[in-house]
Structure 1
Amino acid sequence: MITRRDFIAQSSASAALIGAPKLALAELSLGAATLSTVSDGHLTLPGDFATANLPSEATDIIKGFGLNTDQFTPECNVTLYRDGTNTVLFDVGSGPDFMPSAGALQDSLDAVGVGLGDVTHVVFTHAHPDHIWGLLDDFDELVFPDASYHMGRAEWDYWWNPETVNTIDAGRTTFAVGAKRRLEILEEQINFFDDGDEVLSGIAAVASYGHTPGHMGFEVRSGSESALIVGDAIGNHHLAFHRPEWASNSDQDSETGITTRKMLLDRLASEQMAVVGFHLPDGGMGRVVRSDGHFRFVQEG
């Protein structure tokens, strides 16, 4: 049987012979730095995940994007920043224990020539499974052993709190247990930041609460060029853009999530800043434009 790793290795070898296509999903130059996305696979979600408790118009909007409403398979795009000195991952994907369709990050990094020991920093948007469960290997050792780790203080405090597992809704209890287990591994080496802090040179934290209580985005800037990594604060390219005032079933605090989503979309459209979204399509990198009273996601290139 040919495994995914075998397939990627064979594809990479063939690429070397035919001119090596760009293996990152999407890529953007920011001065001397490069911002790209690599795949952790995709999620597999039931058809009512995006539309439950919403008007029937929601289904029509999604169908208008040519999507199957029986099942959703949003991409998982992990952002990779390289400036010649630092190699930074924003989130670490699902690992093998969340969904069979996700957990491909290590293969994807290998395909773009980034070894696990090459990663200098890991910066978390939040601690949901598809963003943090890839932290550990099968022996509960850190997958990225030489990296420094960074998380927003409010996000850490929420998942560290022993009451979270009792107060989070029942469908997310395993999220709380899984997050706490991984945070315990990081306890002695985590670096905290708050809204507006410069996490690394040229990378500033942007509070984007709602999806989780301490969710963070990141503005990456070099001179006049910039991009905003939004994690899951803008969770899809259809309802989130067309009806940002509607509650998202993936947000833990839907009202705060609405406020955040509208703020981010307005800023991105006004400033024409590149956006990078964890679950946006085709690598998740593009621009936000206003169109007929709504917002629209336009891919880079």
Structure 2
Amino acid sequence: MVLAGLGGAAVAQGPLRAFAKTTAQIGDYEFISVSDGNLVLPRSFFFDGLPQDELAQALASFDLPQDQLEPPCNLTLLRNAERVVLFDAGSGPTFMPSAGTLLDNLDAAGVAADAVTDVVFTHGHPDHLWGVLDDFDDLVFPNASYHMGQVEWDYWRDPATVDTIGETRAAFAVGAARRLDAIEDRMSHFSDAAEVLPGIMAQASFGHTPGHMSFMVGGDSDALMIGGDAIGNHHLAFARPGWASGADQDPDLGAQTRQRLLDRLAHEQTLLMGFHLPNGGLGRVARDGDSYRFVRADQ
């Protein structure tokens, strides 16, 4: 069915099954949201160190589990007559048992891995990068070119990163370096405001990682921001965007970026595709006083 309330973008919501997907026409591209499963994270990952009374008030309208959260992983695929562009590569087989279902869901959407022409990275965390290699360390997308922001590339390729990122994320650095080494000869780099591919513009959104990038596609009534993890959940990131998040490597910069993006998205009513947002990740941002609210594409 076509969903109302989305300006010029015609959006269809598939059945809510393991291979459910959301589709739309964005500029010259067909947009498809494809699931890579979900993460399983302790509640403390999101909420430790925050003022508990105000936290309870901020979360009162959300039906969140009390022990662990299971944020979805939504990858963006854009395709036209010339290209099949995948944003991020998913977790692959070794990061988390609940994730790594991308290939099955691409197949359900009628997209073969060897048909992907380009993989564009928002950042180098495991659930976005590790899926470039399979169980045998072969390339999952053998015919693709790869694209990563120069700042992000330099960070994960720096041998000092493993010693400075912190003990809990040291494995991220080791895993990223190995995978980036495997695709180095197919990699191109870009900077803020660059046109990465035709009609796809890079937007610096640093903070979650040192070189995290978002992307703008289309324009006017059918503009879409592919936000990666710059806006990392549908609850506290919207209700208290100025609060520092433990998910961000630079919590203060991450909060500044989040507030800036939410303000822009609410003002311009641009579609947002969020990697960890619910129901396929596609929706708009509504302003609620000094906070915001995620409005799903099917509402």
Q: Scaled by the length of structure 2, what TM-score is found?
A: 0.91
In the alignment, which residue of structure 1 is the partner of 2:120?
123
In the alignment, which residue of structure 1 is the partner of 2:297?
300
| In 1: Cα distance, 2:258 partner to 2:202 partner | 16
- Structure 2 counterpart of 1:30, which letter? I
In the alignment, which residue of structure 1 is the partner of 2:32?
36
Report whether the alignment pairs 1:218 with 2:199: no
Please give the per-residue CA displacement for 1:123-148, whole angstroms capped at 9, x wherever unaligned: 00000000001010122111000011
- Structure 2 counterpart of 1:62, which letter? L
> How far did 1:59 drift?
3.8
| In 1: Cα distance, 2:109 partner to 2:122 partner | 23
In the alignment, which residue of structure 2 is the partner of 1:238?
235
Please give the per-residue CA displacement for 1:167-198, whole angstroms capped at 9, x wherever unaligned: 01110000000000001111212100000000
In the alignment, which residue of structure 1 is the partner of 2:132?
135
| In 2: Cα distance, 1:58 partner to 1:35 partner | 35
The 1:183–1:105 alpha-carbon spacing in structure 2 relative to 1, beyond 3 Å, is same
The 1:46–1:21 alpha-carbon spacing in structure 2 relative to 1, beyond 3 Å, is closer
| In 2: Cα distance, 1:69 partner to 1:275 partner | 28
Where does 1:244-259 land on structure 2 (aligned, <5 Å)? 244-259=241-256
RMSD value, Cα: 1.5
In the alignment, which residue of structure 2 is the partner of 1:161?
158
Runs of 5+ unmatched residues, structure 1: 1-19
In the alignment, which residue of structure 1 is the partner of 2:184?
187
| In 1: Cα distance, 2:60 partner to 2:130 partner | 32
Please give the per-residue CA displacement for 1:251-270, whole angstroms capped at 9, x wherever unaligned: 00011101100110001011
Runs of 5+ unmatched residues, structure 2: 1-13
Report whether the alignment pairs 1:48 with 2:44: yes
Where does 1:1-301 land on structure 2 (aligned, <5 Å)? 24-56=20-52, 57-221=54-218, 224-301=221-298
| In 1: Cα distance, 2:222 partner to 2:130 partner | 32
> How far did 1:21 drift?
5.9
The secondary structure found in structure 1 opposite 2:223 is strand
| In 1: Cα distance, 2:291 partner to 2:248 partner | 21
Q: Scaled by the length of structure 1, what TM-score is found?
A: 0.91
Identical positions, percent: 56
Please give the per-residue CA displacement for 1:198-233, whole angstroms capped at 9, x wherever unaligned: 001100000000000000000011565210001000
> How far did 1:35 drift?
1.3
- Structure 2 counterpart of 1:170, which letter? E
| In 2: Cα distance, 1:30 partner to 1:292 partner | 30
Residues matched between the structures, number: 282
Partners of 1:63 and 1:69 within 8 A in 2:
no
The secondary structure found in structure 2 opposite 1:199 is strand
